[in-house]
Amino acid sequence: MTAPASVPEIRKGLAGVVVDTTAISKVNPETNSLLYRGYPVQQLAATKRFEEVAYLLWHGELPDAAQLAEFRAAERAGRALQPNVKAAIDLLPTTAHPMDVVRTAVSVIGASDPTTDDASREANLAKSMSLFAALPAIVAYDQRRRRGEDLVPPRDDLDYSANFLHMSFGEVPEQVVVDAFDVSMILYAEHSFNASTFTARVITSTLSDLYSAVTGAIGALKGPLHGGANEAVMRIFDEIGEAENVVPWLDAALAEKRKIMGFGHRVYKNGDSRVPTMKASLDTLIAYYDRPDLAELYDTLSGEFVERKGIHPNLDYPSGPAYHLMGYDTETFTPLFVASRVTGWTAHIIEQAASNALIRPLSHYDGVDERSV
């Protein structure tokens, strides 16, 4: 008789496992802080625009005036929806989830780029810019075609967020809405080794290309335990209807052991560092659109859930209703997250490529013992 093999320590879901270093962002659950390249994200959201944050994530420093002007010009030059990408989107049924459409569009861009397999830093920065610039058109056009509306061409006189809203709705909303949108883009941009970023790093570690890594990351973000939660929050709000239904709805949901989307986090256990900033933007939108009923539903659900379970809201909880108020369809929320997070993903792809080791963990076999056929 052979002695049973000892079982090594297994960290399901890699919980608590440190797999590499990164200089891009620091998530600190003890101090409830999030730094992008050393800067607190709250300060960036209060004083910078999303283009400056994208530059910071890729280059490590904030841009000076000339660098920002050059960066903005490059972004504007890549805004138009390319005919082959539009044609590919038009082939997809409107029953497809918008995340599937965005994933396919990125894949088409990759397949059409003659430099796809050039993994130099310069080539990867150029590809990152082309995705950053193209994603607003992809996300906006897909929502419009579902509504039976035509493509809206970009406007060169507008910054990133104002142009994104213009391409989505055919008009530029009041500055208060543009600002809330820009804050959401900054807050969603980067969060260390989350599941989608780790996916991008795994794909990069095989020496695959940037577009493949981003395509895989989009697939990982789609799930409701990750980015898909902003959409799921709005579906929960629709299910509950109004604040007075929260208690019976929550009683039933908890009895059924349902996960309440928009709450909980693998790293933060005492609240997500980004929530107060996004909640402040949501509050300005609630005042602007005169929707105190939504504020009441938001506060009642979070108050009840935190009191009963001690589990706090994550960024998807305030951003879901914020995108709803801006006029986005619920299924478009996670593609908006993609348009922002592409900056963090590509920063990690470039970092991984510069200091690569194939990512290949081990597993402990617990299947049938060796036997003869």
Ligand X SMILES: O=C([O-])CC(=O)C(=O)O
Note the residues at the interface with ligand ACO (CB under 6 A): 13, 224-227, 229, 259-266, 311, 314-316
26 touching ligand X, by CB under 6 A: no
By CB atoms closer than 10 A (0-12, 13-18, 19+), residue 100 is middle
Residue 34's φ and ψ, nearest 5 degrees, are -140, 120
How far apart CA 222 and CA 112 sit, in angstroms, is: 24
Instruction: Build a one-symbol-per-residue string for 167-196: x at contacts with ligand X by CB under 6 A, - elsewhere.
Output: ------------------------x--x--
How far apart CA 248 and CA 244 sit, in angstroms, is: 9
The tokens of 252 are what? 């039933």
Residues involved in catalysis: 265, 316
* Nearest distance in Å: CB 281, ligand X: 16
From ligand X, ligand ACO, none, interface partner of 263 (C-beta below 5 to 8 A by class):
ligand ACO
Q: Which residue is nearest to ligand ACO (CB)?
A: 264
Does residue 127 contact residue 210 with C-beta atoms inside 8 Å?
A: yes
291 touching ligand X, by CB under 6 A: no
The tokens of 308 are what? 């009963």
How many amino acids of this chain bind ligand X (CB under 6 A)?
A: 7
Applying CB under 6 A, which part among 58-66, 167-175, 261-269, 324-332 lies near ligand X? 261-269
The tokens of 42 are what? 């709250």
The correct pick among 125, 267, 280, 311 for binding ligand X (CB under 6 A) is: 267
Does residue 230 contact residue 184 with C-beta atoms inside 8 Å?
A: no
The correct pick among 107, 266, 289, 351 for binding ligand X (CB under 6 A) is: 266
Q: Which of 177, 202, 137 is nearest to 338 (CA)?
A: 137
* Nearest distance in Å: CB 227, ligand X: 7
The tokens of 117 are what? 């397999």
306 touching ligand X, by CB under 6 A: no
Residues that bind ligand X (CB under 6 A): 191, 194, 265-267, 314-315
